[in-house]
Structure 1
């Protein structure tokens, strides 16, 4: 007759096996989060010291804010020169509202999608706008694709028109981009939809 203790040596081995499986599962989860939860794409460099962060996330769906933000000393935007498209490939500009001047557009990526600023720049150009530069915005997380303008300038009407074409939010500039060069600023995020197909 066998004693009950004869089966006990396999229990520590089973416990060790389950512990190893648990460690492997945790390592797998960390690996997946690291792979898919990485930072901004387009090789986003670190934010410069002294720069402001992104605007606070707003739950309001209003098209603009009545408060003008204060200026800051520097901008956490990294840019690259935007090549001018050959004259033969530039489509004729679409009909615009009377009196609306199309200010130059600066397109910055604040998403996890590599090359999204370049894709958005192509669509902006295809709709008759000049793209002054493209790059990354690394000053914080922008909650949704937004077109920014300087209040009290001709950029406001241009920003509203561009936002309408791209189905994006439009707001006055916030502290983190106040010091950026003049012109309309488009910051694209993961929810970027592109130009409306119903023109």
Structure 2
């Protein structure tokens, strides 16, 4: 006699359980179809468009499988990472003159000093066109050289101020070198001031 009474309350619970399993199965099928079938259309049709992703990605967390549009939103989230390529900020630039390309030469007894100095030059907004050694003589102090009467002069003065170096017009030994600023670093190279 107890079995008919216990059977009647369990039937609605079983029916509700099967209904929930059915909804979960439909959601799973929609998710799998959108993952494998729906993901091919947005990248081939328009590449990585920026208009659809912001609108659809905000809806996807709140309605993961309740509507057919929610799975489509999960496929558009894959187009968002290419937009993250804008995270590469430009080098830090100082106000003032246009940044003229720089070549950095080591005239010291410190191995790798030109590379270290070039890294600081880049960090302060200039483009470095090359590094090397200067062995045609001894330069007494770290100096930034420019060609007088060109836009190199203002940029060279600004770079010298940043690096706490001397600034001068080019001398005869480097007069015919390619255009651009020449930085010759010596044992007294201090680099950019660390106070900000």
Q: TM-score, normalised by structure 2?
A: 0.54
Q: Over aligned residues, Cα RMSD in angstroms?
A: 1.6
Residue 90 and residue 124 in structure 1: after superposition, are their counterparts in 2 closer, same or farther (change >3 A)? farther
Give 1:160's match in structure 2, choosing from 157, 161, 172: 157
Quick one: distance in 2 between partners of 1:95 and 1:138? 31
Mapping of residues 187-198 of structure 1, within 5 Å? 187-198=184-195
Give 2:127's match in structure 1, choosing from 130, 154, 171: 130
Quick one: distance in 2 between partners of 1:90 and 1:135? 27
Matched residues, number: 111
Quick one: distance in 2 between partners of 1:90 and 1:181? 29
Runs of 4 or more consecutive aligned structure 1 residues displaced over 2 Å after TM superposition: 87-95
> Deviation string for 1:21-55 (max 9, x for gaps)?
xxxxxxxxxxxxxxxxxxxxxxxxxxxxxxxxxxx
What is the Cα deviation at residue 94 of structure 1?
Answer: 2.3
What is the Cα deviation at residue 91 of structure 1?
Answer: 5.0
Q: TM-score, normalised by structure 1?
A: 0.53
Q: Which has the higher contact order (CA 8 A, sep 6+)?
A: 1
Counterpart of 2:91? 92
Unaligned runs of 5+ in 1: 1-86
As a proportion of its length, which structure holds more helix? 2
Unaligned runs of 5+ in 2: 1-85
Quick one: distance in 1 between partners of 2:111 and 2:92? 28
SS of alignment partner, residue 161 of structure 1: helix
The structure number with the bigger radius of gyration is 2
